[in-house]
Amino acid sequence: MHIPDGYLSPQTYIPIYGIMVPFWGMALKKVKNVLTSNYVPYIAMSSVFSFLIMLFNIPIPGGTTGHAVGAGLIAIILGPWVAVISISIVLVIQALLFGDGGITALAANCLNMAVIMPFTSYFIFKLINGTSKSKTRINISSFAAGYIGLLIAALATAFELGIQPIIAKGEDGLPLYAPYPLSIAIPVMALEHLFIFSVVEGLITMAVVSYFLKYEPESIYGLKSNFSL
């Protein structure tokens, strides 16, 4: 879902930077409050894990890519605010060192994958699982969290791309940035994620949460009794 430079207009990416700055600030504050020496390796590993699974990029028509992200998994295991930091770090490294995603589009990519996705996944997990300790219910909740979280993030990406022909046109009436309207961007992104990428995301999320449930259930943030952020 990485959006490269040249596909978002300043009317889009500048306001999104304005949205992301408070999120980054709040995430740093939240993580600092819970950060301990035992917690640091998990945050580092979550970033590495997300980085690795994002390497399996498949180009999608319209100027973006499809892949698993791991944001929902991080939100369930470590909390959504940790996911904001972990995924943002990954996206910055990818944009600066690997040219995967653009600098102007960095905030948009972070909004989609480091905010919308982890918070959606976390809420879905808590909504379905509640405080249940049932392995079956946790597995279903984990899969749904990963699946729906990635799908919603993909639709947000499609919306950002699809509005470009509406808000940024040249004097000749042609799009200056992403050329595909909402009628194309949304179906393409939705179909690819409904049947491929979100399924993979759901399975990865379920598998890793199941592993933690077996060996370190007390460390799963999403299984805490209180619905807290």
Q: Domain with 57 in it: what CATH number? A: 1.10.1760.20
pLDDT of 38:
66
DSSP the chain: -PPPTTSS-HHHHHHHHHHHHHHHHHHHHHHHHH--TTTHHHHHHHHHHHHHHHTS-EEETTTEEE----HHHHHHHH-HHHHHHHHHHHHHHHHHHS--S-STTHHHHHIIIIIIHHHHHHHHHHHHHTT---HHHHHHHHHHHHHHHHHHHHHHHHHHHHTHHHH-B-TTS-BSS----HHHHHHHHHHHIIIIIHHHHHHHHHHHHHHHHHH-GGG-GGGSSS---
Q: Is residue 218 part of a domain?
A: yes
Region 187-192 average pLDDT? 91
What is the number of structural domains in the chain?
A: 1
Q: Is residue 1 part of a domain?
A: no
Q: What is the mean pLDDT of the chain?
A: 91
Q: Is residue 106 part of a domain?
A: yes
What digits encode the pLDDT tens for the residues 80-139?
A: 999 999 999 999 999 999 888 899 999 999 999 999 999 999 999 999 998 899 999 999
Q: Is residue 121 part of a domain?
A: yes
Q: Is residue 50 part of a domain?
A: yes
pLDDT of 60:
73
Domain residue limits at 207: 10-223
Q: Is residue 229 part of a domain?
A: no
Q: Is residue 97 part of a domain?
A: yes
pTM above the 0.85 mark? Answer: yes
Q: Is residue 228 part of a domain?
A: no
What digits encode the pLDDT tens for the residues 14-55?
A: 999 999 999 999 999 988 877 666 677 888 889 999 999 888
